[in-house]
């Protein structure tokens, strides 16, 4: 069997080392960008810096974006008029995702239709190119993939945002109950306690505090507690909020102590949060297998094998 040339072997080893370093660099860059993004969000949330100076040209970009949104909204208005049966369900999903604007439904429908129009136009433009260059699987994929993204992309983005919000609400709900129990046991009524809690919890859970403020406004407007709490639970879209609304309704109807009921419910919520944390801790080794195999193991393998391979190549050269 012919032995490989020394120059070829060294070239292969060099490429292998560059590949391993690239994998390690990509992994480190992804981790660094994620850490920097989280740190920036935390600093912005703690500092409350939402009024930073706008860069030059921001007004022009804002005006152009406003014109695009207006066009998409007009397109969504026509879709909403032709299919009004799905508006209630879609509006509830958008509220659970954090879009409270009255025009959110029409903008969402208009964005879906605009994405489909762009995908169809791209597919039509691909026809001359495919005929000129012989077509093939590449042209088919370039026409089909944008259409699939246009049809499924908006719904998947909405679902991902709703799942993210639900996780945030579940994380902050035990803190909300602890503050509510402390306020009620201090002598405040349930309505005054909710108003007080909305001011305190906003320092850590901004989105949950926004829903609590909506609940406070509904109660101040004269809406019944049962309807206000049910609407609050539907806006959050989590089982904990629905259980709290049912518990408060039953406590009010049966005349039981509200403080003791909230205390028991708060303890149960803390136990659930601890169980979720333990579940995540148990699943961590399985989740670490992928980055371990993709980033750490190749680098470790390269560190162990490349020096020996280099020694062998030098020995074979002599």
The pLDDT assigned to 58 comes to 47
The band of 2, judged by pLDDT with boundaries at 50, 70 and 90, is: very low
Rg of the chain, C-alpha, whole Å: 29
Neighbours of 91 (CB within 10 A): 16
Q: Taking a C-beta distance cutoff of 8 angstroms, is the pair 258, 244 a contact?
A: no
- What span, in angstroms and rounded, lies between the C-alpha atoms of 70 and 150? 20
- What span, in angstroms and rounded, lies between the C-alpha atoms of 50 and 60? 20
Q: 276-318: per-residue pLDDT in tens?
A: 888 888 888 888 888 888 888 888 888 888 888 888 888 877 6
The pLDDT assigned to 109 comes to 78
Q: CA angle 130-133-139, nearest 5°? A: 35
- DSSP assignment of 279-303: HHHHHHHHHHHHHIIIIIHHHHHHH
Q: Taking a C-beta distance cutoff of 8 angstroms, is the pair 127, 192 a contact?
A: no
Q: Taking a C-beta distance cutoff of 8 angstroms, is the pair 230, 244 a contact?
A: no
């Amino acid at each position: 069997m012919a032995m490989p040339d020394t120059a070829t072997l060294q070239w292969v080893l060099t490429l292998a080392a560059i590949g391993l370093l690239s994998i390690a660099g990509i992994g480190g860059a992804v981790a660094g960008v994620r850490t920097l993004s989280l740190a920036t969000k935390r600093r912005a949330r703690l500092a409350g810096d939402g009024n930073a100076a706008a860069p030059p040209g921001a007004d022009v970009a804002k005006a152009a974006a406003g014109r695009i949104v207006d066009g998409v909204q007009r397109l969504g208005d026509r879709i909403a008029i032709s299919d009004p049966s799905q508006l209630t369900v879609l509006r509830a999903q958008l509220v659970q995702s954090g879009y409270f604007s009255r025009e959110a439904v029409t903008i969402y429908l208009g964005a879906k239709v605009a994405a489909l129009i762009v995908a169809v136009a791209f597919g039509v433009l691909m026809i001359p190119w495919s005929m000129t260059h012989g077509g093939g699987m590449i042209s088919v994929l370039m026409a089909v993939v944008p259409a699939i993204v246009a049809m499924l992309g908006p719904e998947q983005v909405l679902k991902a945002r709703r799942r993210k919000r639900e996780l945030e609400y579940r994380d902050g709900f035990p803190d909300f109950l602890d503050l509510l129990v402390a306020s009620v046991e201090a002598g405040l009524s349930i309505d005054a306690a909710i108003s007080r809690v909305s001011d305190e919890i906003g320092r850590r859970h901004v989105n949950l505090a926004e829903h609590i403020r909506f609940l406070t406004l509904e109660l101040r407007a004269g809406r019944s507690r049962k309807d206000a709490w049910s609407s609050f639970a539907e806006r959050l879209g989590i089982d904990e909020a629905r259980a709290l609304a049912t518990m408060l309704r039953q406590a009010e109807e049966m005349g039981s102590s509200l403080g003791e009921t909230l205390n028991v419910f708060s303890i149960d919520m803390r136990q659930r949060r601890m169980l979720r944390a333990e579940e995540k801790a148990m699943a961590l080794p399985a989740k670490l297998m992928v980055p371990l195999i993709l980033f750490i193991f190749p680098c470790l393998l390269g560190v162990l094998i490349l020096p020996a391979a280099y020694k062998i190549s030098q020995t074979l050269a002599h």
